[in-house]
């Protein structure tokens, strides 16, 4: 207002113009051809520019119009009689996937609770193995879960059916656009009609620009004193989104108008409208721009466009005007006011009847909850997917070709695991007086057979795409290595079985660099020279384990570690036997998955299938198994790990988990209580949990007081099945009465550790590798074990007396 400096100058120029305005006649006549020439030249330039623009408009519109990020899907939920999910759990899952509770299930994407039943109208979906039509089904329940499944639609019987999978993310370039293409003929008619009503009433009649609208907008803006209405047609908006940057200049406006006219001349109104539906910007999710109504429908409502209700369509149409200003998650009141205004316009235009209008206005916004700072709800898992795809697909394939990636993520397991990690850490900090928010954690859950990654938690705030601890936090694994040591020993059945007495007396090993390694037990005491092998692992004795590892040879332990699936190259040092090797939780999960799988290695996979955007199969990730170890020693090791869970360092799990479940596991604790680990499994599920601090300061937690507490709660959610304990072909079981007591025990010389107990009662079935059952384990009165113990004591004594250099020789042979 104060700055109107140019104005006073103008009058000063006028005289000059006037001078030019009164030329002599002859001069004008002489000038005319030039003016004409200039005009012609201008016309040619404009025409040439138009031709150029025309080319640009057409190439863009007709070529590959959009790059399409790869879509990532969770594993679909299989519904069948026998599924152990309650009606509430399934209804929760349906809600999470945007299914609508309705009074009839005549439309796909709806469900209804009728009596004790759950009726569902599933969505049609193109899976990697073909199309699945939508079906109307009825689930019956009993107290264990789904008891019956039948079809209500008369299209044939069903034994099982998959729900459409949850879309869990897309792989788009940094600062990229994300979209899901829709076809005009397949969207609810209210959407295009509503868009025209609200954004561009003359759309069907104008030539790309609408002078009438511009005039109307100008008048409205003048009246209001500021911009309240835009005069842009849908075509102009498309041009602006499509071809131009956001600069508000006159030149750009003119270019926009010219391009809009060209576009309108070349293409039909439906084509333009369809492009608009797919191009319009409707929100921002971190670095990801939400383009088009197809993706917006998922982003805000977690369901396909076809299923949107009038209030939801109106909200999206309302947001076109200013997606961030009317963001329903951040500014719900503002969004609702504008939505209702749009609903009024729908009603006035006549495609929403009175009843629909009043219902829609009463409805809440209906947007699903979503963390505002995240780029995806599952950043850690998507990170794993990207890494597993890396090397097979170029970045452009993933961000431009619209590939469909079907993963193994189980959204329920993921949600439960995240919740348990968050709650568990907070509880630990509170109950143990640890500074709030100082602990961190990572967790992996897999299906034992098949090695599918069901859930991956990369940190305390699982929605935050930061440091992925499950994959990248490599920490010493402590006692998690011990089962590998014992497995290595048990693979030599002529030397070791589960009741072999081990020496748990103090140990000093001279290292190659001149230092002496003196490991200690957690309790700082020795447990004598004849601790049964299974007992030493059950209670995680360091001295017995270190001596055992040195006896079998550290290189052999490393060899077993690699067979189990570890790909690193650890240092061959004595301290490896107590876990001086750094691993990420995912690597631990791989190793333990092989233990859980009975010695069959299955690479852990996050991906099942990749198809093109049209559903053509591109890549399967089939189940691969490899027999890496004999089943018998693995069975023996798993048997001991069940004792860890039952009687040893993992026993507190049965405060939460049902006593009847046979689970196996191992605690891990590192020096000064820096890292707390637990890895364990049942017959079908495996979980690995790490708890510690990012700054590597002591977390003040052992494996049992920290990670196990989280593990137990995670496991209680994921439906573990107990281990069956069917011995493999070459394992026999002998009923024995176990009599070891670490306080008295063999060290006092009365080491009658075991009794054969077929008719003695109180016996445990102890597994041995066939052909290697110790001599004489055949009667209640046998004292063979004490003889064995004595013999082994003698041998240990001899070994101890040997020069320490011999230890080294054996280690580094």
Residue 778 sits in the site that holds another protein (CB under 8 A): yes
Spell out the residues 6+ positions from residue 240 whose beta carbon is closer than 8 angstroms to its own.
Answer: 232, 246, 256
199 is a catalytic site residue: yes
Q: Tell which positions 434-473 bind another protein, by CB under 8 A.
A: 447-450, 452
Residue 760 sits in the site that holds another protein (CB under 8 A): no
Q: How far is the CB of 458 from another protein (least distance, A)?
A: 24
- Contact track, another protein, 593-612, x by CB under 8 A: -----x-x-------xx---
Residue 771 sits in the site that holds another protein (CB under 8 A): yes
| Count of residues near another protein by CB under 8 A | 49
> Sign (positive/negative) of CA torsion 237, 241, 245, 247?
positive
Residue 274 sits in the site that holds another protein (CB under 8 A): no
Phi-psi region of 803 (alpha: psi -120 to 50; beta: other; left: phi over 0): beta
- Residue 621 or 711: the one with the smaller Cβ distance to another protein is 621
Options 79-87, 267-275, 290-298, 662-670: segment touching another protein (CB under 8 A): 79-87
Residue 719 sits in the site that holds another protein (CB under 8 A): no
Residue 728 sits in the site that holds another protein (CB under 8 A): yes
SS (H, E, C) 477-514: CHHHHHHHHHHHHHCCCCCCCCCCEECCCCCCEECCCC
User: Exactly one of 84, 88, 129, 186 binds another protein (CB under 8 A); which one?
Assistant: 129
**E strands in 519-596:** 531-532, 582-583
494 is a catalytic site residue: no
Spell out the residues 6+ positions from residue 669 whose beta carbon is closer than 8 angstroms to its own.
Answer: 478, 479, 522, 675, 676, 677, 701, 702, 703, 704
Q: How far is the CB of 437 from another protein (least distance, A)?
A: 37
Residue 732 sits in the site that holds another protein (CB under 8 A): yes
Options 59-67, 74-82, 228-236, 347-355: segment touching another protein (CB under 8 A): 74-82
**E strands in 245-398:** 281-285, 288-291
Phi-psi region of 115 (alpha: psi -120 to 50; beta: other; left: phi over 0): left
**Separation between Cα atoms, residue 170 and residue 401, nearest integer Å:** 12
Residue 638 sits in the site that holds another protein (CB under 8 A): no
Q: How far is the CB of 684 from another protein (least distance, A)?
A: 5
Residue 221 sits in the site that holds another protein (CB under 8 A): no
Options 460-468, 521-529, 643-651, 775-783: segment touching another protein (CB under 8 A): 775-783
Say which of 136, 170, 177, 199 is annotated catalytic.
199
Q: How far is the CB of 766 from another protein (least distance, A)?
A: 11
Q: Are 419 and 412 in contact (CB under 8 A)?
A: no
Q: Are 69 and 171 in contact (CB under 8 A)?
A: yes
User: Exactly one of 726, 801, 803, 813 binds another protein (CB under 8 A); which one?
Assistant: 726
**Separation between Cα atoms, residue 684 and residue 719, nearest integer Å:** 9
**Separation between Cα atoms, residue 266 and residue 235, nearest integer Å:** 12
Q: How far is the CB of 726 from another protein (least distance, A)?
A: 4
User: Exactly one of 510, 613, 770, 800 binds another protein (CB under 8 A); which one?
Assistant: 770
Residue 388 sits in the site that holds another protein (CB under 8 A): no
CA angle 398, 74, 692 (to 5 degrees): 95
Options 94-102, 246-254, 322-330, 725-733: segment touching another protein (CB under 8 A): 725-733
Q: Among 240, 334, 313, which residue's Cα sits nearest to residue 230?
A: 240
Q: How far is the CB of 722 from another protein (least distance, A)?
A: 11
Q: Are 608 and 744 in contact (CB under 8 A)?
A: no
Residue 587 in tokens: 């690597």
Residue 683 sits in the site that holds another protein (CB under 8 A): yes
Q: Tell which positions 135-194 bind another protein, by CB under 8 A.
A: 159-160
Q: Tell which positions 487-526 bind another protein, by CB under 8 A.
A: none
User: Exactly one of 434, 511, 618, 625 binds another protein (CB under 8 A); which one?
Assistant: 625
User: Exactly one of 729, 781, 801, 803 binds another protein (CB under 8 A); which one?
Assistant: 729
Phi-psi region of 94 (alpha: psi -120 to 50; beta: other; left: phi over 0): alpha
Cα distances (angstroms) measured from residue 68 to each of 71, 404, 613: 9, 10, 9
**Separation between Cα atoms, residue 795 and residue 220, nearest integer Å:** 101
Q: How far is the CB of 622 from another protein (least distance, A)?
A: 6
Residue 684 sits in the site that holds another protein (CB under 8 A): yes
Residue 653 sits in the site that holds another protein (CB under 8 A): no
Q: Among 599, 577, 589, 809, which residue's Cα sits nearest to residue 687?
A: 589
Binding site for another protein (CB under 8 A): 78, 80-82, 128-130, 159-160, 447-450, 452, 598, 600, 608-609, 617, 620, 622-627, 631, 683-684, 724, 726-734, 756, 758, 770-775, 777-778
Would you name the residues annotated as active-site residues? Answer: 199, 479
């Amino acid at each position: 207002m104060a700055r109107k400096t140019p104005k006073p100058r103008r009058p000063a120029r006028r005289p000059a113009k006037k001078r030019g305005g009164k030329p002599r006649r002859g001069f004008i006549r002489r000038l005319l051809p030039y003016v004409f020439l200039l005009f012609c030249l201008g016309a040619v330039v404009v025409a040439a520019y138009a031709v150029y623009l025309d080319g640009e408009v057409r190439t863009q519109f007709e070529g590959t119009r959009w790059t399409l990020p790869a879509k990532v899907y969770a594993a679909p939920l299989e519904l069948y009689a026998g599924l152990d999910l309650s009606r509430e759990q399934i209804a929760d899952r349906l809600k999470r996937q945007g299914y609508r509770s309705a009074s009839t299930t005549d439309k796909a994407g709806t469900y209804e609770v009728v009596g004790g039943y759950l009726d569902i109208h599933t969505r049609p979906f193109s899976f990697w193995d073909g199309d699945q039509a939508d079906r109307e089904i009825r689930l019956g329940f009993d107290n264990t879960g789904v008891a019956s499944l039948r079809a209500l639609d008369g299209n044939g019987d069903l034994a099982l059916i998959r729900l459409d999978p949850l879309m869990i993310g897309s792989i788009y370039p940094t600062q990229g656009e994300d979209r899901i293409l829709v076809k005009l003929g397949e969207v609810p008619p209210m959407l295009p009609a509503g868009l025209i009503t609200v954004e561009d009433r003359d759309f069907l009649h104008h030539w790309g620009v609408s002078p009438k609208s511009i005039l109307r907008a100008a008048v409205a803006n003048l009246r209001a004193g500021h911009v309240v209405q835009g005069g842009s047609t849908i075509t102009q908006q498309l041009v602006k989104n499509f071809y131009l940057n956001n600069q508000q200049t006159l030149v750009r406006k003119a270019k926009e108008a010219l391009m809009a006219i060209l576009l309108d001349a070349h293409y039909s109104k439906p084509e333009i409208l369809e492009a608009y539906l797919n191009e319009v910007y409707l929100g921002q999710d971190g670095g990801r721009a939400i383009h088009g109504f197809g993706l917006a429908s998922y982003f805000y409502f977690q369901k396909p466009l076809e299923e949107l209700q009038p209030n939801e369509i109106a909200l999206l149409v309302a947001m076109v005007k200013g997606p961030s200003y009317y963001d329903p998650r951040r500014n719900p009141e503002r969004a609702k006011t504008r939505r209702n205004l749009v609903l009024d316009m729908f009603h006035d235009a006549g495609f929403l009847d009175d009843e629909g209008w009043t219902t829609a206005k009463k409805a809440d916004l209906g947007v699903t909850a979503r963390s505002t700072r995240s780029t995806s709800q599952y950043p850690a898992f998507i990170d794993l997917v990207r890494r597993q795809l890396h090397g097979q697909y170029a970045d452009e394939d993933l961000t431009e070709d619209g590939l469909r990636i079907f993963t193994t993520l189980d959204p329920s397991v993921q949600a439960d695991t995240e919740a348990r990690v968050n709650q568990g850490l907070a509880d630990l900090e509170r109950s143990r007086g640890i500074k709030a928010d100082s602990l961190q954690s990572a967790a992996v859950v897999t299906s034992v057979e098949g090695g599918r990654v069901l859930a991956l938690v990369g940190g305390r705030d699982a929605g935050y795409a930061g440091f992925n601890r499950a994959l990248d936090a490599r920490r010493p694994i402590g006692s998690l290595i011990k089962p590998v040591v014992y497995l290595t020993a048990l693979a030599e059945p002529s030397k070791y079985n589960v009741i072999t007495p081990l020496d748990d007396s103090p140990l000093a090993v001279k290292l190659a660099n001149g230092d002496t390694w003196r490991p200690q037990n957690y309790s700082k005491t020795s447990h004598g020279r004849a601790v049964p092998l299974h007992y030493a692992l059950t209670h995680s004795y360091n001295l017995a384990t270190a001596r055992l590892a040195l006896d079998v040879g550290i290189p052999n332990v490393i060899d077993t570690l690699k067979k189990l699936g570890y790909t690193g190259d650890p240092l061959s040092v004595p301290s490896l036997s107590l876990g001086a090797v750094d691993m990420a939780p995912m690597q631990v999960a791989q190793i333990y998955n092989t233990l859980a799988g009975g010695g069959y290695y299955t690479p852990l996979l996050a991906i099942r299938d990749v198809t093109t955007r049209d559903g053509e199969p591109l890549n399967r990730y089939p189940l691969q198994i490899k027999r890496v170890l004999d089943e018998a020693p693995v069975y023996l090791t798993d048997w001991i790990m069940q004792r860890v869970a039952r009687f040893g360092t993992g026993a507190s799990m049965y405060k939460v988990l049902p006593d009847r479940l046979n689970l196996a596991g191992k605690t891990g604790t590192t020096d000064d209580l820096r890292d707390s680990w637990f890895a364990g499994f049942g017959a079908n599920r495996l979980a690995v949990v790490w708890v510690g601090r990012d700054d590597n300061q002591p977390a003040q937690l052992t494996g049992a007081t920290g990670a196990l507490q989280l593990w137990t709660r995670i496991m209680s959610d994921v439906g573990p099945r107990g281990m069956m304990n069917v011995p493999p072909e070459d394992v026999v079981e002998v009923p024995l009465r176990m009599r070891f007591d670490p306080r008295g025990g063999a060290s006092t010389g009365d080491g009658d550790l075991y009794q054969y107990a077929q008719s003695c009662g109180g016996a445990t079935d102890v597994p041995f590798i066939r052909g290697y059952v110790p001599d004489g384990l055949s009667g209640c009165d046998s004292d063979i074990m004490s003889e064995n113990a004595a013999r082994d004591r003698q041998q240990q004594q001899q070994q101890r007396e040997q020069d320490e250099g011999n230890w080294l020789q054996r280690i580094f042979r």
